[in-house]
């Protein structure tokens, strides 16, 4: 069988030598229509001397999809051509997250001579569901690509940044050290993508290794570092974050610093929160309310409830509602903070912020007890959002709530609940 396969490959290579690059491209493109049967026929062309042919091979591999395409796409990460590297990276992610190919860098890629042009976007919120398992060799290859050890060390900064994004989408914890080492490249785009990947992977031990970026002179990198370090919630980060707040050179950095401090409960931060609880800047008011809430003093609840009732800015009001609920305001009357957070799920502009607060709140038993009885009476939009919130909370105590939503008469709601129930059950308790 092995000899026969080698003969087929040899025969194809001989044909390739006798055909033009355009003809080989056309052949590689045609193989996409053959489905899985086309993959063995494409393999010899993955080593074609013409980069255009290899690019077409990757496109066809992605179009065919399926498990048989994964290994060849992973091997294509080592290609010397930038476009092949980028398309192979997006193709690998597409295997685990269908649709990523169109939404990723490949979906906007064009060529201008020898240059690759793309519309890179900072929108980077995609991540695979918790129950999806990624092959270790895939994460390892993407990690090496990010670190500059892929493609015989010839990976462009764009390809490396795209690989870092892929590691984050796939939650590739095994590639963390490669990501840390990639920061040494001192490329702003690559550093930014590595930081966002750290946010998705959530390895708390990484935080001290990136504290130096809290002083970066590039506002975009510094703010991303502040956001990442805050989300990792390592107690060792409190002092560096407070220092960044004290030294903030502009309002944007100051907001990000206080927001990061607010994510890590520490009584030493109380003076910062109290000083900004009534700030003129709504972002600072919001961060102060969050921080005070996470300190967990029940007596602060009345102060946050009072400010919630008087607040006119949405961002600060949501944060104050979150704080009031976290410190014991569990009523679901028309004007109560918990009801306000649930109602906000119907507002497209503020839904994401309300979801973030509710994910944290539903981990509290008293909040779950207050919320569960009203889930069945919620709007469809609220039910869909609550299903995602329950699934992303990591609280196995919410399985019963998701089981109830899985029986909803609306098929879309039921399917969303089932998907999140499966995700919740595969998360580490």
pLDDT in tens, the chain (429 residues): 444 444 444 444 445 455 788 999 999 999 999 999 999 999 999 999 999 999 999 999 999 999 999 999 999 999 999 999 999 999 999 999 999 998 888 888 776 665 666 666 667 789 998 788 999 999 999 999 999 876 555 578 999 999 999 999 999 999 999 999 999 998 999 999 999 999 999 999 999 999 999 999 999 999 999 999 999 999 999 999 999 999 999 999 999 999 999 999 999 999 999 999 999 999 999 999 999 999 999 999 999 999 999 999 999 999 999 999 999 999 999 999 999 999 999 999 999 999 999 999 999 999 999 998 889 889 999 999 999 999 989 888 899 999 999 999 999 999 999 999 988 888 755
pLDDT of residue 1: 41
Write the pLDDT tens digit of every residue in 270-305.
999 999 999 999 999 999 999 999 999 999 999 999
User: CA quadruple 377, 383, 388, 389: dihedral positive or negative?
Assistant: negative
Buried b (16+ CB within 10 A) or exposed e, 22-60: eebbebbeebbeeeeebbbbbbbbbebebbbbbbbbbbb
pLDDT at residue 352, rounded to an integer: 95
Helix, strand, coil shares of the chain as percentages rounded to 5? 75, 0, 25
| Residue 313 CA neighbour count, 13 Å, CB half | 12
pLDDT value of position 405: 94
pTM: predicted TM-score of the whole model, two decimal places: 0.88
* pLDDT at residue 408 in the model: 93
User: Residue 111 has what pLDDT?
Assistant: 67
Distance, in Å, from the CA atom of 68 to the CA atom of 88, rounded to the nearest integer, reads 14
Contact assessment for residue 294 and residue 321, using Cβ atoms and an 8 Å cutoff? no
Q: So what's the pLDDT on residue 6?
A: 45
Query: pLDDT digit string (tens) for 137-160?
Result: 999 999 999 998 765 555 789 999
pLDDT score for 204: 97
């Amino acid at each position: 069988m092995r000899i026969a396969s080698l003969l087929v490959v040899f025969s194809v290579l001989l044909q390739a030598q006798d055909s033009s690059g355009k003809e080989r491209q056309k052949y590689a493109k045609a193989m996409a229509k053959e489905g899985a049967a086309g993959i063995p026929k494409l393999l010899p062309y993955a080593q074609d001397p013409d980069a255009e042919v290899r690019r077409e091979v990757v496109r066809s591999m992605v179009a065919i999809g399926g498990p048989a395409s994964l290994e060849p796409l992973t091997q294509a990460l080592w290609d010397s051509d930038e476009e092949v590297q980028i398309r192979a990276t997006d193709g690998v992610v597409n295997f685990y997250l269908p649709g990523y190919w169109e939404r990723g860098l490949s979906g906007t890629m064009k060529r201008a001579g020898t240059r690759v042009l793309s519309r890179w976007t900072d929108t980077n919120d995609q991540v695979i569901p918790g129950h999806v398992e990624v092959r270790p060799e895939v994460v390892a290859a993407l990690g090496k690509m990010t670190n500059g050890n892929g493609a015989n060390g010839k990976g462009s900064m764009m390809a490396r940044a795209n690989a870092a994004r892929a590691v984050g989408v796939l939650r590739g914890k095994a590639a963390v050290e490669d990501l840390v080492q990639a920061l040494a490249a001192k490329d702003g785009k690559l550093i930014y993508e590595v930081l966002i990947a750290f946010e998705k992977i959530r390895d708390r031990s990484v935080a001290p290794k990136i504290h130096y970026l809290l002083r970066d002179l590039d506002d975009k990198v510094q703010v991303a570092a502040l956001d990442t370090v805050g989300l990792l919630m390592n107690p060792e980060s409190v002092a560096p974050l407070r220092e960044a707040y004290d030294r903030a050179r502009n309002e944007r950095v100051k907001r990000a610093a206080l927001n990061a401090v607010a994510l890590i409960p520490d009584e030493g931060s109380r003076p910062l929160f109290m000083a900004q609880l009534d700030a003129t800047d709504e972002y600072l008011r919001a961060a102060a309310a969050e921080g005070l809430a996470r300190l967990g003093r029940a007596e602060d609840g009345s102060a946050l409830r009072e400010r919630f009732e008087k607040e006119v800015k949405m961002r600060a009001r949501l944060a104050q509602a979150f704080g009031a609920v976290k410190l014991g305001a569990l009523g679901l009357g028309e004007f109560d903070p918990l009801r306000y957070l649930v109602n906000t799920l119907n507002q497209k502009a503020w839904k994401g912020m309300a979801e973030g607060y509710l994910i944290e709140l539903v981990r509290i038993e008293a909040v779950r007890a207050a919320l569960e009885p009203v889930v069945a009476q919620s709007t469809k939009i609220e039910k869909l959002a609550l299903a995602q919130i329950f699934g992303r909370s990591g609280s196995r105590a919410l399985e019963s709530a998701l089981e109830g939503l899985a029986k909803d008469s609306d098929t879309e709601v039921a399917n969303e609940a089932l998907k999140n129930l499966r995700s919740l059950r595969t998360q580490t308790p």
